[in-house]
Structure 1
Amino acid sequence: MATNPHAMPSDDTIVGSIDSTAASDEYVIADISADGAWLSMEADDAPTLPAWR
């Protein structure tokens, strides 16, 4: 049986959020089950949901 290289163990928790500051809005994706496992980009540059389909 082939395994899915994109599958995550059930104990991983990935979330996305907008982090707003006075200077900018950042879109953040993070694995909240692991320290330091996150990335961010300017919210205006983040792809929209229809673009992910």
Structure 2
Amino acid sequence: MEPDTVVPTAVETDAEVMASVEEGPTDSFILADISQDNAFVTMPLDEAASLPAWR
């Protein structure tokens, strides 16, 4: 059986990544690389994985 692995990608060493929750009619989870313009991902907070689920 072939292992299910992912090839590591190159990572910028001086990147600054932050996460935030934006409250509003629909609460949103935002993950952003603040060292780059327009480098962010948003999703409804209800769909974001909790920290224990990421482990």
Give deviations 1:1-53, integer Å, cap 9, x for gaps.
Answer: xxx52x633320011100112x1100000000100000110001100111111
TM (norm. structure 2) is 0.76
In the aligned structure 1, how far is the partner of 2:13 from the partner of 2:35? 11
Q: Percent identity?
A: 38
Partner of 1:34: 36
Determine which structure has more spread, i.e. the larger CA radius of gyration. 2
Unaligned stretches of 5+ in structure 1?
none
CA RMSD of aligned residues (A): 1.3
Alignment-mate amino acid for residue 49 of structure 1: L
* Higher fraction of strand: 1
Q: Does 1:9 align with 2:12?
A: yes
How many positions carry a matched residue from both structures? Answer: 48
Deviation above 3 Å: which 4+ runs of structure 1?
Answer: none
